[in-house]
């Protein structure tokens, strides 16, 4: 994501020259190879570098495009933790940070239902007698033979299942079911 449009050296020089008076002293401000134009282009070069750096920084602050600041993002959301390790793949690292970011404001049952839907899962919450949560989705309980419910995933299950369990488990019983 670019904050500013890229401009050429000539564009920057013309922009600076436009702020100079239109009198005899500054008459050469737009004349190629004049001493004044070379001075204006020297100033414009610094302006162009500042624009490039602003674009780079704005790109790095965006979690969807960051490379240099990924470690800072991970530290902010608490990665590594019990569910998310530091991956070597930059896209996976970005997705893990985004996953953690969306969990910061979960409060209602509907928030959890909507979050699960975003990951292709269905959560059914039964809070009539006790707070029971059933999470259903494709391959949610991976790498294990079918089990009768309730089933609690083991440590080798996906980090997403771990993460949802951590979010919900403090207040409820969580059951995972593979979708047919």
Per residue, the 3-state secondary structure of the chain, as one string, reads CCCCCCCCHHHHHHHHHHCCCCCCCCCCCCCCCCHHHHHHHHHHHHHHHHHHHHHHHHHHHCCCCCCCCHHHHHHHHCCCCCCCCCCCCHHHHHHHHHHHHHHHHCCCHHHHHHHHHHCCCEEEEECCCCCEEEEEECCCCCCCCCCCCCCCCCCCCCHHHHHHHHHHHCCCEEEEEECC
Q: Are strands 132-137 and 173-178 parallel, antiparallel or unpaired?
A: parallel
Same domain, 94 and 115: no
* Per-residue pLDDT tens over the stretch 128-167: 556 666 666 655 554 343 444 444 444 334 666 677 777 7
Same domain, 54 and 30: yes
Of 70, 58, 39, the C-alpha closest to 1 is 58
Instruction: Answer whether 80's CB lies under 8 Å from 86's CB.
Output: yes
Greatest mean pLDDT range, 7-11, 119-123, 125-129: 7-11
Same domain, 14 and 38: yes
In a domain, residue 168? The reply is yes
Give me the residue label for tokens 């602050």.
Answer: 61
Question: What percent of the chain shows pLDDT beyond 90?
Answer: 27
Of 65, 83, 61, 86, the C-alpha closest to 75 is 86
How many domains are contained in the chain?
3
In a domain, residue 3? The reply is no
Same domain, 165 and 121: yes
Same domain, 97 and 112: no
Query: pLDDT grade, residue 180 (50/70/90)?
Result: low
Rounded CA gap, 89 and 45, in Å?
36
Position 176 scores a pLDDT of: 67
Position 147 scores a pLDDT of: 41
Same domain, 111 and 146: yes
Same domain, 26 and 75: no
Residues 6+ apart with CB under 8 A from 149: 134, 175, 177
Position 14 scores a pLDDT of: 93
Residue that wins the pLDDT comparison between 65 and 105: 65
Same domain, 37 and 51: yes
Q: Kindly tell me if the per-residue pLDDT of 71 is higher than 50.
A: yes
Q: Kindly tell me if the per-residue pLDDT of 49 is higher than 70.
A: yes
Same domain, 110 and 161: yes
Rounded CA gap, 116 and 160, in Å?
10
Q: Which domain holds residue 53?
A: 9-61
Same domain, 139 and 173: yes
In a domain, residue 171? The reply is yes
Position 170 scores a pLDDT of: 59
Position 115 scores a pLDDT of: 74
Residue 136: strand pairing partners: 122, 177
User: Given 86, 101, 116, which residue is the final one in a domain?
Assistant: 101
In a domain, residue 20? The reply is yes
* Per-residue pLDDT tens over the stretch 83-120: 888 878 898 888 888 878 877 777 777 887 777 776 66
In a domain, residue 1? The reply is no
Question: What percent of the chain shows pLDDT beyond 70?
Answer: 66
Query: pLDDT grade, residue 44 (50/70/90)?
Result: very high
In a domain, residue 4? The reply is no
């Amino acid at each position: 994501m670019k904050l500013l449009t890229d401009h050429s050296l000539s564009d920057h020089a013309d922009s600076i020259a436009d702020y100079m008076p239109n009198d005899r002293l500054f008459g050469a401000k737009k004349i190629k190879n004049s001493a004044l134009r070379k001075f204006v282009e020297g100033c414009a070069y610094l302006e162009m570098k500042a624009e490039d750096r602003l674009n780079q920084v704005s790109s790095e602050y965006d979690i969807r495009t960051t490379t240099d600041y990924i470690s800072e993002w991970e530290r902010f959301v608490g990665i590594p933790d019990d569910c998310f390790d530091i991956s070597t793949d930059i896209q996976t690292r970005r997705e893990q940070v985004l996953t953690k970011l969306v969990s910061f404001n979960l409060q209602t049952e509907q928030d959890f239902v909507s979050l699960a839907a975003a990951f292709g899962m269905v959560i059914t919450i039964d809070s009539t007698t006790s707070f029971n949560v059933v999470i259903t989705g494709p391959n949610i309980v991976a790498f294990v033979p079918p089990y009768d419910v309730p089933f609690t995933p083991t440590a080798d299950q996906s980090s997403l299942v771990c993460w949802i369990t951590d979010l919900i488990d403090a207040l409820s019983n969580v059951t995972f079911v593979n979708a047919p």
